[in-house]
Amino acid sequence: MRSLILIPALLLAGPALAAGWAVDPTQSTLVIEGQQGANTIRITLPEWTAEIAFDPQDLTKTRIRAEIALGALASQTENASDKAEEERELKGASWFAVAEHPTALFTATGAELFEGGTLRSRGTLTIRGTAVPADLVFTVAITGDTAKAAGQAAVSWTDYGIGWDPAQSGIAPQVTVRFDLTATRMP
Amino acid sequence: MAPTRYDAVAMTLHWVIAFAILGTFAGGLVMTNLAAGDPYRFTIYQLHKSFGLTILVLSLARLGWRLTHVAPALPEGTPAWQGVLARATHVLFYALIVIVPLSGWALVSSATRAVPTFWFGLFEVPHLPGLQGFADQRAVFTQVRDAHEILALAMIGLLVLHVAAALKHHYIDRDDVLARMLPRFGGR
């Protein structure tokens, strides 16, 4: 009975959907920050696309769907041979296996007010076919038709059954995925 | 007066360090020749580092024993040149069993991507201070690594010489030079 009511409600809600936002890739960044001992490893992900619906007046209508091309990852390590090794390993079978799983997928529905004026969107991050809950904590500032958003998600890569044993490699089991984006309101 | 045999402490340290050196050296050869991305390499590296640090501690204990005890005298009638050679070999050996693991620790501490050391997975051993933050860190690391490899090879060369000499004493000279470092199973 409930679903019967819901379907027309969704159809009616069509025009009232939250505004769509087009991400400007030239003004947006996505970075993974990990720790190995005292060393910070920074991996940038220059290739990703996102479909975003967001209305600051109604956070429940938030929709995020981002596809990240893992094969395009780039280590920011200065030393050339260390950088090459990190990129090769991360793309290889021990980590992301980009040959078989070229993209990671993040989806989230709804958002809520969180600590210190930030917003939180509870989503799911899928890597190598494994979906694990991931919370995105972010801020949004909208000026006219331009939105600037920045935020992060803590990701435990060990949950995906990938990577090297933290007790042997010294790589911290949790990394921070950070984004910074500029988007324009779609007509 | 010099004793005729090494005591239990010296003997235990000698043989434990001896086998640890052989195993750690073998591990070092294996781990530096692994294919890139081998899933076991971190484990082998951690084992190599754990054994290396163990050798360092045991070697310092051994050095302490040697400095506070008198070693058994050389067999009577040993030619002077052999005595000098034996003494030089031993001094060099005592130096290398400390310096080789120390240089390995320095290698780990100067690496551009310094992997933490976990002693047999039980606790983290800190890096040696003062080995990071160089303008060309990679060059510093490469030099320390080369030094560790050369010193380790020198120690293995010395070990071969040491074993050859011990066997020569035992089978050719038929003296007690080897026997006094061996436990007396069942008495004699």
Q: Is pLDDT at A4 greater than 70 in this prediction?
A: no
> What are B168-188's pLDDT values in tens digits?
999 999 998 898 999 876 544
> For an interface test with B, which of A75, A169, A171 has the most B Cβ atoms less than 10 Å from its Cβ?
A169
Tokens of B122: 């039980």
Cβ <8 Å between B37 and A82? no
Quote the CA–CA distance of B52 and B98 in Å, as a whole number: 10
Contacts of A92 in chain B (CB under 8 A): 37
A134: CB partners within 8 A, 6+ apart: A106, A123, A124, A125, A153, A154, A155
Helices B80-110 and B137-167 cross at an angle (nearest 10°) of: 150
Q: Is pLDDT at A8 greater than 50 in this prediction?
A: no
Q: What backbone phi and psi angles, to 5 degrees, belong to B134?
A: -80, 155
Q: Which of A63-67, A156-160, B75-79, B122-126 has the lowest mean pLDDT?
A: B75-79
Out of A82, A94, A167, closest to residue B37 by CB: A94
State the pLDDT at residue B116: 93
Q: Is A7 exposed, middle or buried (0-12, 13-18, 19+ CB in 10 A)?
A: exposed
Cβ <8 Å between B116 and A93? no
At A42, the pLDDT band (50, 70, 90 cuts) reads: very high
Quote the CA–CA distance of B174 and B169 in Å, as a whole number: 6
Q: Global pTM?
A: 0.79
pLDDT averaged over every residue in chain A? 90
| Gap from A36 CA to chain B (nearest CA, Å) | 6
Taking the alpha carbons of A118, A122, A126, A130 in that order, is the dihedral positive or negative?
positive
> What are A83-103's pLDDT values in tens digits?
999 999 999 999 999 999 999
Tokens of A172: 């911290």
> What are B17-49's pLDDT values in tens digits?
999 999 999 999 999 998 877 778 889 999 999
Over residues A154-172, the mean pLDDT reads 94
- CB-defined contacts A:B, below 8 A: 46
Q: Is pLDDT at B113 greater than 90 in this prediction?
A: no
Residue B49's closest chain A neighbor by CA?
A168
Q: In DSSP terms, which residues pair with B117 in a beta bridge?
A: B125
Q: In DSSP terms, which residues pair with A140 in a beta bridge?
A: A149
Out of B36, B113, B114, closest to residue A88 by CB: B36
A63: CB partners within 8 A, 6+ apart: A18, A51, A52, A53, A54, A108, A109
Residue A79 touches partner B, C-beta closer than 8 Å: yes
Over residues B143-163, the mean pLDDT reads 96
Residue A35 touches partner B, C-beta closer than 8 Å: no
More confident residue, A55 or A79: A55
Contacts of B113 in chain A (CB under 8 A): 36, 39, 41, 77, 82
Q: Is pLDDT at A62 greater than 70 in this prediction?
A: yes
Quote the CA–CA distance of B124 and B117 in Å, as a whole number: 6
Over residues A3-25, the mean pLDDT reads 61
State the pLDDT at residue A17: 66
Angle at A116 between CA A113 and CA A120, to 5 degrees: 35
Over residues A15-33, the mean pLDDT reads 88
State the pLDDT at residue B186: 52
State the pLDDT at residue A16: 53
* Nearest to B128, CA basis, from B32, B64, B45, B52: B52
Q: Which B residues, 103 through 122, put their C-beta within 8 Å of a C-beta on chain A?
A: 112-116, 118, 121
At B4, the pLDDT band (50, 70, 90 cuts) reads: confident
Contacts of B112 in chain A (CB under 8 A): 79, 82
Cβ <8 Å between A170 and B115? yes
Cβ <8 Å between A36 and B138? no
At B114, the pLDDT band (50, 70, 90 cuts) reads: confident
Over residues A60-86, the mean pLDDT reads 94
- In Å, how far are A175, B7, B98 from B10, measured between CA atoms? 49, 5, 16
Instruction: For chain A, give the percent of residues with pLDDT over 90.
Output: 80
Q: Which of A7-21, A148-162, B123-137 has the lowest mean pLDDT?
A: A7-21
Residue B37's closest chain A neighbor by CA?
A89
